[in-house]
Structure 1
Amino acid sequence: MTTIDDAEIAKFQAMAAEWWDPQGKFKPLHMLNPCRLDYITTQIAGEFDRDLTEGQPFAGLRVLDIGCGGGLLSEPMARLGAHVVGVDAAERNIPVAEAHAAQSGLEIDYRHTSAEALVEAGEPSFDVVLNMEVVEHVADPLAYLTACQRLLRPGGLMICSTINRNPKSYAMAIFGAEQVMRWLPKGTHEWSKFITPEELYNLIRRAGLDPVDRTGFVFNPLTWSWRLSERDLSVNYVTASVKPEA
Structure 2
Amino acid sequence: MHASKWGRLVRGFIGRPRSASSWTPVCLQRPQHTVTCHTSAGSVDPDELRRFQSLAGKWWDDHGEFAALHALNDLRVPFIRDNLMNVHRTRVPGKPLGGIRILDVGCGGGLLTEPLGRLGANVLGIDPVADSIGTAKLHSSIDPDLRNRVRYRACTLEDLSAEREGGGQEEQGLAQFDAVVASEVVEHLADLETFGLCCNHVLKPGGSLFITTINKTKLSYALGIVAAEQLLRIVPSGTHDWEKFISPVELERLLESNGFSVGSVRGMLYNPVSGVWCWTDSTAINYALHAVKVRDDPEAHQAEDRGPRHPLPEGHVEAAHS
How high is the TM-score relative to the length of structure 2? 0.70
Q: Does 1:23 align with 2:63?
A: yes
Runs of 4+ aligned residues of structure 1 deviating over 6 Å after TM superposition are: none
The CA distance in 1 between the partners of 2:53 and 2:59, in whole Å, is: 11
- SS of 1:63's equivalent in the other structure is strand
Deviation, structure 1 residue 173: 3.0
- 2:176 and 2:219 map into 1 onto residues whose CA distance is 38
Distance 1:45 1:174 in 2: 37
User: Partner residue of 1:169?
Assistant: 220
Displacement of 1:221: 4.1
Contact 1:89 1:112 in 2 (8 A): yes
Matched, 1:2 2:39: yes
Deviation of the 1:180 alpha carbon: 3.9
Asked if 1:12 corresponds to 2:49, the answer is no
Count of residues in Structure 1 that have an aligned counterpart in Structure 2? 243
79, 104, 110: which is aligned to 2:152? 110
Of 233, 238, 245 in structure 1, the residue corresponding to residue 288 of structure 2 is: 238
- Indicate conservation of the 8 Å contact 1:35/1:226, yes or no: yes
Distance 2:115 2:199 in 1: 21
- The AA in structure 1 aligned to 2:94 is G
The 5 Å alignment of 1:43-62 reads 43-49=83-89, 54-62=93-101
Match of 1:126 in 2: 177
| 2:125 aligned partner, one-letter code | G
**Which has the greater radius of gyration?**
2
The two structures have a TM-score, normalised by structure 1, of 0.90
1:74 aligns with 2:113: yes
Q: Structure 1 vs Structure 2: percent identity of aligned residues?
A: 38
Q: 1:85 to 1:168 in 2, by over 3 A?
A: same
SS of the residue corresponding to residue 205 of structure 1 reads helix
Q: Where do residues 77-92 of structure 1 align in structure 2 (5 Å cutoff)? A: 77-92=116-131
Change (3 A) 1:136 1:142: same
For residues 223 and 73 of structure 2, what CA distance do their matches in structure 1 show?
18
Deviation at 1:176, TM superposition (A): 4.6
Query: C-alpha displacement at 1:96, in angstroms?
Result: 0.3
How many Å separate the matches in 2 of 1:5 and 1:76?
31
Number of the residue aligned with 2:200: 149
| Cα 1:194/1:227, change in 2 over 3 Å | same
Structure 1 residue 224 displacement after superposition: 3.6
Which residues of structure 2 form unaligned runs of 5+? 1-37, 165-169, 297-322
Query: What secondary structure does 2:270 align onto?
Result: strand
Q: Confirm or deny that 1:95 pairs with 2:145.
A: no
CA RMSD after TM alignment: 2.2
Distance between the aligned counterparts of 1:22 and 1:111, measured in 2?
Answer: 23
- For the pair 1:138 / 2:189, whether they are aligned, the reply is yes
Q: Which residue of 1 aligns with 2:209?
A: 158
Q: Deviations over 1:48-100 (max 9, x none)?
A: 23669x41111111111010100011101111111111100112111000000
In the alignment, the residues of structure 2 paired with residue 220 and residue 181 of structure 1 have an alpha-carbon distance, to the nearest angstrom, of: 20
CA distance in 2, matches of 1:226, 1:152: 29
Q: Secondary structure of 1:128's partner? A: strand
In structure 2, C-alpha distance between the alignment counterparts of 1:50 and 1:176, rounded to whole Å = 47
For 2:70 and 2:233, how far apart are their aligned partners in 1?
15
Name the CA distance, whole Å, in 2 between partners of 1:15 and 1:128. Answer: 27
